[in-house]
Amino acid sequence: MKTMVALGEILIELNSLSPGPLRHVTYFEKHIAGSEANYCVAFTLLGNRCVFVGRVGDDEFGRNAIEWLRGKGVDVGRVKLDPNPTGIFFIQRNYPVPDKSISIYYRKGSAGSRLSPGDLDDDLLREADVVHSTGITLAISETAREAVFEAFERAKVTSFDTNIRLKLWSPEEARETIMNLLRREPLKFLITDTDDSKVLVGESNPDEAYRLLSPYAELVVMKQGPKGATVYYEGEKYFSPGYTVKVEDVVGAGDALGGTFLSLVLSGFPPKKALDYAIASSTLNVTMRGDQEPLPTLQELDEFLREMNK
Ligand code: ADP
Ligand code: CKP
Ligand code: MG
């Protein structure tokens, strides 16, 4: 069994039950989310272990998040309770662009943003098979950013999803900070998408973007929305196409893809096969609300691939 240590912010997701502008939505459904927590659950359900490092509020939502993640098998022994509130976000679906979702954050000054280098455990980082974080954690506060830089410095193997959120920082700040991390700590796994590569290296063509990002990672996964995704490693390139399905909410699909891919590669799947499974997991994710409820077991992924590729 492999161990991933993930640094980030667990958020409470309030997903609109009906599509359309939030000003006219009456009912919301609660889910546990946050990119790194989504990665952890995907990773754990596929037979590996994930330790989450971060903070939640000493409040009802914080307890809810801890109990939920524990129920999914995530090691929450290092999640701290913080006097600030657990961060929340709302999702507006299918408006103003059909099949797209918009995240609206209420997270400034949240417990999760108080993550700091003091929350790190040296032995845990050194012994982990992979240490993972995202651009969201670099953006939420100065101390969270320092924690990611320090953790990556101490880790043997690192994974990073660029996840650039332009509501949290400017494109210039995102580029400078993420490229600085990549230059200082070349990665084993870089998971990104064609919008983020445009911000980072000015390229949304997957091959061109890969060429510019390749000095910074041994393996790059380039997500391409409904089209699918490409993995580049050891001089190889493999594109795995997406599936056409009825879209309920696309939030969380990228994390489903990344968490599934990492777990299966660490379990010994060749990257090409792991990407096919990761695409399957991300496809399931867009068909339901919630980021973690749709995350599958290996058996369920096998069944998906068998039935969908007949
Ligand atoms: P991110 O949001 O992290 O950039 P993507 O938007 O590329 O990630 O989505 C990740 C994966 O989810 C895609 O590679 C694809 O398999 C699946 N996906 C995303 N959007 C759709 C969609 N509209 N229809 C079907 N699959 C989708
Ligand atoms: O890239 P994804 O759509 O997979 O990311 C979704 C997550 O952490 C979601 O859970 C949300 O809370 C966030 O990204 C975020 O901060 O935007
Ligand atoms: Mg993403």
**Does residue 135 contact residue 187 with C-beta atoms inside 8 Å?**
no
Quick check: CB of 35 below 6 Å from ligand 2? yes
In a domain, 133, yes or no: yes
In a domain, 23, yes or no: no
Residue 309 — left, alpha, or beta (φ > 0 → left; ψ -120 to 50 → alpha)?
alpha
Residue 15 — left, alpha, or beta (φ > 0 → left; ψ -120 to 50 → alpha)?
beta
In a domain, 151, yes or no: yes
Quick check: CB of 38 below 6 Å from ligand 2? yes
Distance CA 218, CA 220 (A): 7
Quick check: CB of 87 below 6 Å from ligand 2? no
Strands (E), 37-108: 49-57, 79-82, 88-93, 101-106
Phi, psi at 50, each rounded to 5°: -130, 130
**Does residue 51 contact residue 75 with C-beta atoms inside 8 Å?**
yes
Please report, rounded to a whole number, the percentage of residues in the chain having pLDDT higher than 90.
Answer: 99
Pocket of ligand 1 (CB under 6 A): 99, 193, 223-226, 228-229, 242-243, 245, 247, 250, 253-254, 257, 279, 282-283, 286
In a domain, 56, yes or no: yes
Q: Ligand 1, atom 26: nearest CA belongs to which residue? A: 226
Task: Please state the rounded mean pLDDT for residues 128-154.
Answer: 98
Encoding tokens for residue 117?
């280098």
Give tens-digit pLDDT for 227-236. Answer: 999 999 999 9
**Does residue 262 contact residue 132 with C-beta atoms inside 8 Å?**
yes
Q: For position 70, what pLDDT does the model report?
A: 98
In a domain, 280, yes or no: yes
In a domain, 94, yes or no: no
Encoding tokens for residue 263?
């777990």
Distance CA 14, CA 28 (A): 5
Q: For position 277, what pLDDT does the model report?
A: 98
Give this prediction's pTM: 0.98
Q: Is 121 exposed, middle or buried (0-12, 13-18, 19+ CB in 10 A)?
A: middle
Count of domains in the chain?
A: 1
Nearest ligand to the CA of 259 is 2
The domain that contains 262 carries what CATH number? 3.40.1190.20
In a domain, 146, yes or no: yes
In a domain, 170, yes or no: yes
Residue 129 annotated to the active site: no
Q: State yes or no: ipTM above 0.85.
A: yes
3-class SS at 152?
helix
Q: For position 185, what pLDDT does the model report?
A: 85
What residue numbers bound the domain in which 257 lies?
Answer: 34-77+114-308
